[in-house]
Structure 1
Amino acid sequence: MKRVLMLSALMVSGVSLATTVAQVKQKGVLVLGTDPTFAPFEFKGTDGSIQGFDIDIARAVAKDLGVKLEIRAVGFGALMPQSVTSGRVDMAMSGITITAERAKVVAFSAPYYRSAQVFIVRGGNPGKFAWPSDVKGRTVGVQANTTGQFVANDLLKPKGVTLKAYDDFAAGLADVRAGRIAALVGDAPTVDDLSKRLPGQFQKAGADLAAEDYGMVFAKGSDLAAAANKTLARMKADGSYQALLNKWIVQK
């Protein structure tokens, strides 16, 4: 998503366990790790099941491999990269931004979604927040250990912005709603989802902070990345990818 890779745990072991297509087919299950707190990409529905855009793409990958999909909820701090490099999961999807730093230790699929880091403000933008103008002296929230925080450190701090980090994205939204911070940095689809679920409470303000691409994540050396790319190409060709965009993301 969006989220910054922490390399320390991997460097301790220096080992990446690459699950292969043959191994997945032999066990009959493709294990997906995801942090289900990022609607509409992955979240828990009213029945407790994990669903969303990423989940449906992973199901398509599993179906093309002829196996079942097993979903494991993993907190993001443990998901990237430890759960992948240790072999705890076969693949990870959680709005994970493709970066050169991450690509040093994991394998990415081709990009499957183009996103952006944006500013979330209260509905109506009563604080008149704007980017890149009129930000000096403002306090802006960021989710800790995310690419949003990384970009904000580079671009906002030099402009005189005070950054407030949150472990819980919902806590940042609460501070936006209460007027305790001017804005919160988040992914563009998150704003769209908030607009659907909480009409009038939140909106995007100012220009985009940065663009980024999401990718499916695998252990280095795994041929599952190539299999995922094949599925992604097939879905874009037969219209099923667009159908998922319409289902989960396109604003209605």
Structure 2
Amino acid sequence: MKRFLMVTAVLGSALAGAAHATTVAEVKKKGVLVLGTDPTFAPFEFKGADGQIQGFDIDIARAVAKDLGVRLEIRAVGFGSLMPQAVTSGRVDMAMSGITITDERAKVVSFSQPYYRSAQVFIVRGGNPGKFAWPASVKGKVIGVQANTTGQFVATDLLKPRGATLKVYDDFAAGLADVRAGRVAALIGDAPTVADLKKRLPGQFEQAGKDLAAEDYGMVFRKGSDLAAAANKTLARLKASGEYQKLLNRWIVQK
């Protein structure tokens, strides 16, 4: 998503129990594909009313598992532990969580082909009472960013030199609460998040100004794993059959 590379030595308790599968053959042998995801990024991955993790990314991962002839196991992992440690350590077989493809990350993990083109945008309170706009009104404003995301990285490069103050959140929901309360002028997030917020919370949030940056999401695997090629085959099948568009229509495209 949004997400920028973070290096940390500590793995959360949600990672207990290693997957230890690097190849297609190993995944097929154990009969399960373990997906790591941070379920706080609707509509890509989030917990539904029944507590189950669902979303656009989850359905694509299920399709990959189906094509491999195995079941999908989903593990909720905080993003700071997910990228790249959960993948490189073999704690999960793959990761999907709106993860942006970057040259830096590609040095330590393998990506699938891009499966979604997104953009970093400014999320403001409904009606935009502060009349925030990008790039016109940044100087002197407090802008929220989620820790260790591409939004934080881009904001550090582009907004701080223009006089903005960045407020960093571990929890995206806390940033949204501050936007709603007027404690920050805007929060940087992914474009589909704005559409989802408008659908779930009518009138509370909207996008302001131009896109801050464009980015591509990819499925993530251990470096050199042939699971990336298998995921590419699934992605190509979904697009050729029309299933990919159906998933877009279900989760992302505004009706």
CA offsets per residue over residues 81-118 of structure 1, 9 Å max, x none?
A: 11111111100000000011111100000000000000
Give the secondary-structure state (helix, strand or coil) at the position aligned to 1:101: helix
Per the alignment, residue 114 of structure 2 pairs with 111
| Aligned AA (2:235) | L
Give the secondary-structure state (helix, strand or coil) at the position aligned to 2:103: coil
Match of 1:77 among 51, 75, 80: 80
| Aligned AA (1:223) | D
| Aligned AA (2:7) | L
Per the alignment, residue 51 of structure 1 pairs with 54
Q: Which moved more, 1:193-202 or 1:125-134?
A: 125-134
Per the alignment, residue 184 of structure 1 pairs with 187
What's the offset of the Cα at 1:28? 0.9
Per the alignment, residue 239 of structure 2 pairs with 236
Q: How many residues align?
A: 246
- Tell me if 1:246 matches 2:249: yes
- Tell me if 1:66 matches 2:69: yes
What's the offset of the Cα at 1:2? 1.4
Aligned mates of 1:145, 1:85 — CA distance in 2? 18
Give the secondary-structure state (helix, strand or coil) at the position aligned to 1:191: helix
Match of 1:23 among 26, 47, 52: 26
Aligned mates of 1:171, 1:112 — CA distance in 2? 28
Aligned mates of 1:160, 1:212 — CA distance in 2? 24
**Given that residues 136 and 161 in structure 1 are in contact (C-alpha distance below 8 angstroms), is that contact kept between their aligned partners in structure 2?**
yes
Per the alignment, residue 147 of structure 2 pairs with 144
Match of 2:230 among 215, 227, 230: 227
Aligned mates of 2:86, 2:246 — CA distance in 1? 30
What's the offset of the Cα at 1:136? 1.1
What's the offset of the Cα at 1:9? 3.8
Match of 2:138 among 123, 135, 138: 135
Per the alignment, residue 94 of structure 1 pairs with 97
TM, length-normalised to structure 2 = 0.94
Aligned mates of 1:107, 1:18 — CA distance in 2? 14
Aligned mates of 1:3, 1:234 — CA distance in 2? 27
| Aligned AA (1:156) | L
Per the alignment, residue 5 of structure 1 pairs with 5
**Given that residues 8 and 80 in structure 2 are in contact (C-alpha distance below 8 angstroms), is that contact kept between their aligned partners in structure 1?**
no
Query: After the TM superposition, which segments of 4 or more aligned residues of structure 1 sit over 4 Å from their partners?
Result: none
Aligned mates of 1:179, 1:88 — CA distance in 2? 40
What's the offset of the Cα at 1:226? 0.2
Give the secondary-structure state (helix, strand or coil) at the position aligned to 1:194: helix
Show structure 2 runs of 5+ residues with no match. 11-19
Give the secondary-structure state (helix, strand or coil) at the position aligned to 1:145: coil
Aligned mates of 1:118, 1:83 — CA distance in 2? 28
| Aligned AA (1:170) | A
**Given that residues 18 and 221 in structure 1 are in contact (C-alpha distance below 8 angstroms), is that contact kept between their aligned partners in structure 2?**
no
| Aligned AA (2:103) | A
**Given that residues 35 and 74 in structure 1 are in contact (C-alpha distance below 8 angstroms), is that contact kept between their aligned partners in structure 2?**
yes
Give the secondary-structure state (helix, strand or coil) at the position aligned to 1:154: helix
**Root-mean-square deviation (CA), in Å?**
1.2
Aligned mates of 1:226, 1:21 — CA distance in 2? 9
TM, length-normalised to structure 1 = 0.95
Show structure 1 runs of 5+ residues with no match. 11-16
| Aligned AA (1:28) | G
